[in-house]
Copies of this chain bind each other. A is one copy, B any other.
């Protein structure tokens, strides 16, 4: 049977690849390297990534709440992010299993058998598995098109995906990752003067980190109300990716969790 061997969390800011390329000593470079080492040490056969499209793969003509990418491969970024373009293998069989199991557990998932991805998936791939040998499994969580899924629902989806992985027959080692910000406003009224984006709720970032460190995921789910996430900025819903990831790996404390001043954090959950 398959099992989950690692949990990861990281940002996907579209400027990170070029910033790190120009400043190899940048703190984010070291943190992403730490995650990459953890992923390689875990000898994972597949990497499930909970992340969110930014109106690039999908648009409001058919915007899914939760979607599973179940194709042989994907590619990205599809949104002009300044970074290399990757062809990325997808763990299609595991994705199909997760999709079917999720539907039979009452999750109303959209099925994506042909798709490309934006920086939300391409940036993590760039830093963690640019070699193209690790199949990913994209789980798209709606973090942008109002109304967002409830935190309790995102957490339940993560739990269901965790169970589905553990019920998958092939003896796979699966890593699970979340990507996204805890507090970030892009282009909305809460941006700072002269800027296109900013971090409107640093206290919430600290609170999220505190609750994750203390393994108080239930409290995090309770406190991540629609109004709190909105207060954290129009990208504040990206926390839902982390909440889903925590549902998948279960009740564990992070081995490392580093908040950064940009409203996001890096984390590693490890138990072997």
Q: Which residue of B lies closest to A148 (CB)?
A: B103
Q: Check if A111 sits within 8 Å of B63, measured CB to CB.
A: yes
Q: Check if A62 sits within 8 Å of B110, measured CB to CB.
A: yes
Copies of the protein in its oligomer: 2
C-alpha spacing A119/B251, complex, angstroms? 48
Query: What band does the interface of chain A fall in when counting residues whose beta carbon is under 8 Å from B?
Result: 20 to 34
Q: At the interface, yes or no: A150 with Cβ under 8 Å from chain B?
A: yes
Q: Contact string, A218-234, partner B, CB cutoff 8 A, digits 1/0? A: 00000000000000000
Q: At the interface, yes or no: A107 with Cβ under 8 Å from chain B?
A: yes
Q: Check if B115 sits within 8 Å of A61, measured CB to CB.
A: yes
Q: Which listed residue (B66, B106, B149) contacts A153, Cβ 8 A? A: B106
Q: Check if A62 sits within 8 Å of B65, measured CB to CB.
A: no
Q: Check if A108 sits within 8 Å of B62, measured CB to CB.
A: no
Closest 6 CB pairs of A and B: A108-B108, A65-B108, A61-B114, A60-B113, A63-B111, A103-B147
7 A-B pairs with CB atoms under 8 Å apart are A58-B62, A62-B67, A62-B115, A63-B110, A64-B64, A64-B110, A100-B147
